[in-house]
């Protein structure tokens, strides 16, 4: 997609349907692999935050659910990447939060103490997530306003997909919706905007995604970015609190 945009010098890139088809295809392969390589009873289960040792067996529905999580996370980060530094810091915050989660649930003693499900081998993801945070810091050096480097779809879709995949592996999909709540809000603003315009011909926001709404209201770009970072930190703390509040 980014290659087409650069080579043809326009913003069209791949058609949306083709892009989504590719995303769902990759997500389907990942979902099957995760389910096959996860021991029962976690292989097709959904865990709920704030509840001790409660699992909902999704059965065959686990595959489409996991696909939805990964594709949704991928595109939500992509939608958030609209201002200099806006997306990468919340991604790093989410990755750091999940680095802690993967370390804890990958250690049987910590998992038993916190009364969360032990996921064998998930501690290895801590290294991956730490590397993601480190790479994000290096990228932020050049993406800080005024940005000299942009992640494009190649970066935002991959980062979101990585967070989604980690949440599926660790059975913390619902916690991702809390920790990555900023991305959820940005996505919901687009869904609400499009739905409202199609149904009533009226727009709820001045512009979507949400950060553009505040731009239209006259907020400075730096103000929007920093306040959204603050929201991301608060939501990450709430998400991490679910480990103990059970």
Task: Give the residue numbers of the binding site for Mg(2+).
Answer: 78, 153
The three-state secondary structure class of 25 is: helix
In whole angstroms, what is the distance from residue 93 CA to residue 1 CA?
Answer: 27
Backbone angles phi, psi at 113, to 5 degrees: -65, -45
Please name every residue paired with 45 in a beta bridge, in sequence order, or none if there are none. Answer: 57
Tell me how long the chain is: 246
In whole angstroms, what is the distance from residue 68 CA to residue 31 CA?
Answer: 10
* Sequence-ordered list of residues with C-beta below 8 angstroms from that of 147, at least 6 positions apart, any chain: 84, 85
Q: Which two tokens stand for residue 224?
A: 């929007």
Binding residues: 78, 153
In whole angstroms, what is the distance from residue 89 CA to residue 137 CA?
Answer: 8
* Sequence-ordered list of residues with C-beta below 8 angstroms from that of 204, at least 6 positions apart, any chain: 192, 193, 196
In whole angstroms, what is the distance from residue 58 CA to residue 108 CA?
Answer: 24
Residue 124, Cβ neighbours under 10 Å: how many? 12
140, 90 Cβ separation under 8 angstroms = no
The three-state secondary structure class of 151 is: coil
78, 20 Cβ separation under 8 angstroms = no
């Amino acid at each position: 997609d980014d290659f087409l945009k650069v080579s043809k010098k326009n913003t069209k890139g791949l058609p949306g349907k083709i892009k989504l088809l590719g995303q769902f295809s990759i997500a389907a392969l990942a979902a099957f692999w995760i389910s096959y390589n996860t021991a029962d009873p976690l292989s097709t289960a959904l865990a709920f935050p704030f509840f001790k040792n409660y699992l909902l067996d999704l059965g065959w529905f686990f595959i489409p659910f996991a696909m939805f999580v990964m594709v949704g996370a991928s595109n939500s980060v992509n939608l958030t990447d609209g201002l200099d530094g806006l997306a990468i810091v919340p991604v790093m915050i989410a990755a750091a939060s999940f680095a802690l989660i993967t370390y804890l649930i990958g250690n049987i003693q910590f998992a038993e103490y916190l009364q969360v499900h032990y996921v064998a081998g998930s501690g290895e993801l801590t290294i991956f997530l730490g590397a993601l945070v480190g790479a994000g810091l290096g990228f932020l050096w050049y993406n800080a306003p005024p940005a000299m480097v942009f992640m494009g779809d190649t970066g935002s879709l991959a980062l979101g997909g990585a967070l989604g995949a980690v949440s599926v592996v660790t059975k913390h999909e619902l916690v991702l919706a809390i920790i990555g709540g900023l991305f959820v809000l940005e996505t919901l603003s687009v869904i609400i905007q499009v739905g409202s315009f199609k149904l009533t011909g009226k727009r709820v926001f001045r512009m979507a995604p949400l950060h553009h709404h505040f731009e239209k209201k006259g907020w400075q770009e730096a103000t929007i970015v920093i306040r959204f970072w603050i929201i991301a930190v608060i939501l990450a703390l709430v998400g991490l609190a679910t480990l103990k509040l059970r």
